[in-house]
Every structure is written in C-alpha cells, then in structure tokens.
Chains A and B, each alone.
Chain A
Amino acid sequence: GAVVSQHPSWVICKSGTSVKIECRSLDFQATTMFWYRQFPKQSLMLMATSNEGSKATYEQGVEKDKFLINHASLTLSTLTVTSAHPEDSSFYICSAGGRGGPGDEQFFGPGTRLTVL
C-alpha cells in the first residue's frame, strides 16, 4: 500500500520560533499534497493544497505568510510554521494524492503534534 510519513511526529518549541514539518510519500509520486490541521476532538480542516513545482493554494482564512508550504519534489512537501505562537499548537496532518484510485485517493501521514510554549 501507499505510505506517507511525517517528520517530526511531535515537536515543542518556544513562541516566536519557526518549525518545519516534512511530509514524504515513500513509495509513490504524489502530484498533490494536502495539509490539514486538527484541533482536539475536532475534524480535519484543510489548510492548503500543494502541487509539485507550483505555489500552494491556501484555504480561506489561512495565512500564507505564516504557514509556508513548499512542494519541491514529487515525494516531499514541507510546512513551515513561522513565528509560532501558542494558538498554533495543534495536530498537523498531511496527505498525498496522485496515485489514482477512487477519487484519486489521499493517503494520510501519521500527523505531527506541535506544542508552542
């Protein structure tokens, strides 16, 4: 099956610092990657869609200067939370598509827990 990894699995940082989260598709080329944010006991909210080699498309209300997304290759997308603040603490999940399947099935990473002190 398709495997998507995320690194790190959890990170604690000080307020004002930047944090980079990596999302990798290990055994297929992902033409599209999605970044989601999940608050405790809530659903996944789509933050942005990234296509390899082009700029990410952000959902309404998501600050593109705060959440920098780079999709430099067909197997790697990164999300950088810049100048992180406690309200950015959340569970960030990526998914990768482009392998085909029903509705171009998305394969999800295990998530990254970000805690900003």
Chain B
Amino acid sequence: GEDVEQSLFLSVREGDSSVINCTYTDSSSTYLYWYKQEPGAGLQLLTYIFSNMDMKQDQRLTVLLNKKDKHLSLRIADTQTGDSAIYFCAEILGDYKLSFGAGTTVTVRA
C-alpha cells in the first residue's frame, strides 16, 4: 500500500468547506503537494507548501502542515460543483520522486 495515507471519500454540500486530510512518512520531505484529478484527466497541481511553513493560503485553498505529526490538510472554502474530483497529496522524496496518497474522492452535492 501507499506510504502516504488519505481518507478515500468526502461528500460535502455546495457552499460548505471541505477538509481533506493526509499523513505522510518522510520527515525530510522539503515540499508537500496537493493535486487535483478530474475524470479521465491528468493531475493538476493545486498548491504546495514548503516544510518550514505551518500554513499557506491561496484564495479558497488553505493548507495546514503539522510536521511533528506528519499531517497535512487541505481546506477548500465555499466548495463548488467544479471542485468534485479526486485530490491527491504527495511528498517529495530523494531524486525528486513524488510519493502519492491513494486519493480522496470529493463529491459536491447541491
């Protein structure tokens, strides 16, 4: 199984906030990423956070990082139907390799 762990499903009402959680394994990872994948498509980088940061905000997206617990979260404010997708967290390992979680499928209901 993957070393990066995520919950598999999240259902949220349109307009509410979504929070996706992730735990990673390598405390020396310098960057942690959130990617979005829509059906049948490749991955789109949503945001990233440098390991010396606790929080990063980018418009509707807020990333929180707890290095002690190796916990990463992504909050999407005012979730819209277009936010329905699979969200992957990823950590960067040596040689710039990315290790991905299994992905969280977010379903936005009206």
Contacts and interface: CB of A to CB of B under 8 A. Distances in A.
Interface of A: 4, 6, 32, 34, 41-44, 46, 49, 93, 95, 97, 102-111, 113
12 contacts: A6-B42, A34-B97, A34-B98, A42-B103, A43-B88, A49-B97, A103-B33, A103-B48, A105-B48, A106-B96, A108-B44, A111-B40
Interface of A is mostly: strand
Nearest to A113: B40
A99 to B, nearest CB: 12
> For the complex, would chain B's binding face be called helix, strand, loop or mixed by DSSP majority?
strand
A48 to B, nearest CB: 11
Interface residues of B, number: 25
The 9 closest A-B pairs by CB, nearest first: A103-B31, A108-B43, A108-B42, A110-B42, A103-B92, A43-B100, A43-B102, A111-B42, A44-B100
A6 B42 CA distance: 10
Interface of B: 2, 30-31, 33, 35, 40-45, 48, 50, 88, 92, 95-103, 105
Contacts of A104: 96
A37 to B, nearest CB: 12
Contacts of A44: 43, 88, 98, 100
B108 to A, nearest CB: 18
A41 B88 CA distance: 11
B43 A105 contact: no
B1 to A, nearest CB: 9
Contacts of B31: 102-103
Given A104-B96, A108-B45, 10 more contacts: A34-B97, A41-B105, A44-B100, A46-B98, A46-B99, A49-B95, A95-B98, A103-B30, A103-B92, A106-B96
